Amino acid sequence: MSAIRFTEQPLSHWMKTTGAESEIVISSRVRIARNLKQHPFPLLATNRHLEEVQDELKEVLDDPRFQVYGEIHPIELSGLDELNKKMLVEKHLISPNLANESRNGAVFISDDESLSIMVNEEDHLRIQCLYPGFQLKEAWEKATAVDDIFEDHVNFAFDDKRGYLTSCPTNVGTGLRASVMMHLPALVLTQQINRILSAVSQIGLTVRGIYGEGSEAMGNLFQISNQITLGQSEAEIIDNLRSVVLQIIGHEKAARERLIQESRLRVTDRVMRSFGILSHAAMIDSKEAAQRLSDVRLGVDLGLIEGLTPQCLNELMVLTQPGFLYNSYDGSVEPGEMDMYRARLIREKLGKV
């Protein structure tokens, strides 16, 4: 199966819909890490072992229980060029690690792209479910159902005391990573963000950037996820994260209300200036574009600017990334011209609104 069908459009189907608290929570994700008992883990496995893992896991897709998720498309990473790999990363369908370092890696993607199953990344199997808005429980229910299907066909590496065994010790136990992508511009503008994130880190959660570990938090987007996978049940991990996210949502809403009451003109000026720059700039780098789009999104959420939808801004966040930007102009973008073409693409998109 070619990856082209998944890179033709910047927005996955699930990104075109909304969920609870979608003005603040962009998406909810649950990822489950598993390894096959009879094979060496990917770091120590030979190419033959990894080929066998890929074949065994691909056979599981024939289970009729997968039909409820639509057609599942297996894609071997070795058959993709670097551009298509980069675009799959930019859509969060594969991890940067799978794109850059995996041997005999593959990904199984559902039609609506809400289910992405990575093979031979850091672990043999990583089941990922993505939902719009604040839908952690829904993402977890889908991920665990898919996990059950695989567990009926293959033997996972499991220890009675330690739980599921993984390549990285921080994933041992449940193998569960749950996360939410949050847009928190008001907490940044009111200078509360550092205090909030510091408190989050002290209760077993971690904060990362838009592409996970090692990535920068651009455009006031923060990924909040559990850090502990051992010693807690899956339900406890989900409930703890939900509880903290609800508190952060409350703080962000209060900060937005404060901005409107105390600094409406200043916030409106910031939003309109950013919209003006995006609409007319001749050059813009990815970091500034993300910040300006964040300002405009806040303006849309606060009712300060009309004619734009969150989906349009979501699309621009993806389209302005290097892979999709290069692809949008049929590969004619030279390295030194990236900022010029990014500005041009944004002007064209906003001009159609």
Tens of pLDDT, residue by residue over 237-262, are: 999 999 999 999 999 999 999 999 99
> In terms of pLDDT, which residue wins out, 231 or 48?
48
For tokens 């090692």, the residue is 214
Residue 300 known to bind ligand = no
pLDDT for the residue numbered 182: 94
Q: Using CA atoms, how far apart are residues 281 and 11, in angstroms rounded to an integer?
A: 24
pLDDT for the residue numbered 53: 96
Residue 209 known to bind ligand = yes
Residue 180 known to bind ligand = yes
pLDDT for the residue numbered 213: 54
Task: Please classify residue 223 by burial: count the beta carbons closer than 10 Å to its beta carbon, then call 0-12 exposed, 13-18 middle and 19+ buried.
Answer: buried
Residue 212 known to bind ligand = yes
Domains and CATH numbers, the chain: 1-11+27-173 (3.30.590.10), 253-351 (no CATH)
Residue 213 known to bind ligand = yes
Residue 263 known to bind ligand = no
Residue 179 known to bind ligand = yes
Query: Residue 294 corresponds to which tokens in the numbers above?
Result: 């964040």
Q: Please say if the pLDDT value at position 1 is more than 70.
A: no
Residue 60 known to bind ligand = no
For tokens 């990583």, the residue is 126
Q: Please say if the pLDDT value at position 221 is more than 70.
A: yes
Question: What beta strand segments (E) does the chain contain?
Answer: 25-34, 72-76, 106-110, 115-119, 125-132, 158-159, 163-164, 176-183, 205-208, 221-226
- Helix, strand or coil, per DSSP, at residue 122: coil
Query: What is the model's pTM?
Result: 0.89
Residue 270 known to bind ligand = no
For tokens 């005999």, the residue is 104
Residue 65 known to bind ligand = no
Per-residue confidence band for 344, with pLDDT thresholds at 50, 70 and 90: very high
Residue 28 known to bind ligand = yes
For tokens 């033709």, the residue is 8
Q: Using CA atoms, how far apart are residues 251 and 256, in angstroms rounded to an integer?
A: 9
pLDDT (tens digit, 9 = 90+) per residue, 288-322? Answer: 999 999 999 999 999 999 888 888 888 888 888 88
